[in-house]
Chain A
Amino acid sequence: AEVEETLKRIQAHKGVIATMVINAEGIPIRTTLDNSTTVQYAGLLHQLTMKARSTVRDIDPQNDLTFLRIRSKKHEIMVAPDKEYLLIVIQNPCE
Chain B
Amino acid sequence: MEIVHVYTRKRSEFGRPCSFSDRPAEVCVDIQPDPSLADSFLLRCPVDAHVQHGSDMSEHEVNTERVEVETRGVNHVEGGWPKDINPQELEQTIRFRKKVEKEENYVNAIVHLGTLMEHCVKQNNAIDIYEEYFGEEELAEVEDEPPSAKTINVIRYYQTNIFSDVLLSKRDPNVVKRTATHLSWHPDRCKKLAVAYSSLEFQQNMKDMSFQSYIWDLENPNKPELVLKPSSPLVSLEYNPKDSHILVGGCYNGQMAYWDTRKGGLPVEVSTVEVSHRDPVYGAIWLQSKTGTECFSASTDGQVLWWDIRKLSEPTEILVLDITRQGLLENALGAVTLEFEPTMPTKFMVGTEQGIVIACNRKAKTPPEKIASTYSSHHGPVYALARNPFYPKIFLTVGDWTARIWSEETKESSIMWTKYHLSYLTDGCWSTVRPSVFFTTKMDGTLDIWDFLFKQNNPSLSLKICDEPLSSLRLQDNGCVVGCGSKLGTVTLLEISSGLCTLQRNEKNLANAMFERETKREKILEARHREMRLKERARSEGQGTEAEEMLEESPQEALDRAQKEFFEVIEAELQRRAQAEAQHLHGKVQKHAEEAVAAQEEESKLPKYEEEAEEEDAA
Chain B residues with a Cβ closer than 8 Å to the other chain, count: 31
Is B420 on the interface with A (CB-CB < 8 A)? no
Is B79 on the interface with A (CB-CB < 8 A)? yes
Main secondary structure of the interface of B (DSSP, over half): helix
**Best-buried of B81, B121, B125, B130 by chain A (most CB within 10 Å):** B121
Q: Are A95 and B114 in contact (CB under 8 A)?
A: no
Interface residues as binary, A51-95 with B (CB distance below 8 Å gives 1, 0 otherwise): 000000000000000110101000010101011110101010111
CA distance A25 to B87 in the complex (A): 13
- Taking CB atoms, residues of chain A closer than 8 Å to B76 are 36, 39-40, 43-44
Q: Are B121 and A10 in contact (CB under 8 A)?
A: yes
Is B344 on the interface with A (CB-CB < 8 A)? no
CA distance A93 to B124 in the complex (A): 6
**What is the minimal beta-carbon distance from B126 to any residue of chain A, in angstroms?**
10
Who on chain B is nearest to A24 by CB?
A: B80
CA distance A26 to B101 in the complex (A): 15
Q: How many A-B residue pairs have CB under 8 A?
A: 92
Q: Are A13 and B77 in contact (CB under 8 A)?
A: no
Given known pairs A87-B117, A89-B121, the reply for A2 and B78 (CB within 8 Å) is no
Who on chain B is nearest to A13 by CB?
A: B121
Q: Are B78 and A3 in contact (CB under 8 A)?
A: no
**What is the minimal beta-carbon distance from B41 to any residue of chain A, in angstroms?**
80
- Taking CB atoms, residues of chain A closer than 8 Å to B100 are 23, 29
**Best-buried of A2, A44, A66 by chain B (most CB within 10 Å):** A2
**Best-buried of B80, B112, B113 by chain A (most CB within 10 Å):** B113
- Taking CB atoms, residues of chain A closer than 8 Å to B174 are none
Q: Are B114 and A87 in contact (CB under 8 A)?
A: yes
CA distance A5 to B105 in the complex (A): 17
Other A-B contacts than A10-B118, A43-B79, 20 sampled, CB-CB below 8 A, are A3-B106, A3-B111, A7-B110, A7-B114, A9-B114, A16-B121, A26-B79, A27-B81, A27-B96, A30-B101, A39-B77, A40-B76, A71-B130, A78-B120, A78-B121, A80-B113, A80-B116, A84-B106, A87-B117, A91-B124
Interface residues as binary, B105-147 with A (CB distance below 8 Å gives 1, 0 otherwise): 1110111111111101110110010110000000000000000
Q: Are B80 and A26 in contact (CB under 8 A)?
A: yes
8 contacts between A and B (CB under 8 A): A7-B114, A14-B125, A23-B100, A27-B80, A69-B120, A85-B113, A87-B117, A93-B125
- Taking CB atoms, residues of chain A closer than 8 Å to B455 are none
Chain B residues in contact with chain A, CB under 8 A?
76-81, 96-97, 100-101, 105-107, 109-118, 120-122, 124-125, 128, 130-131
- Taking CB atoms, residues of chain A closer than 8 Å to B101 are 3, 29-30
Chain A residues in contact with chain B, CB under 8 A?
2-3, 6-7, 9-10, 13-16, 21, 23, 25-27, 29-30, 35-36, 39-40, 43-44, 66-67, 69, 71, 76, 78, 80, 82-85, 87, 89, 91, 93-95
CA distance A7 to B105 in the complex (A): 16
CA distance A3 to B114 in the complex (A): 9
Given known pairs A7-B114, A10-B118, A27-B78, the reply for A85 and B124 (CB within 8 Å) is no
- Taking CB atoms, residues of chain B closer than 8 Å to A89 are 117, 121
**What is the minimal beta-carbon distance from A82 to any residue of chain B, in angstroms?**
5
CA distance A38 to B113 in the complex (A): 19
Who on chain B is nearest to A15 by CB?
A: B125
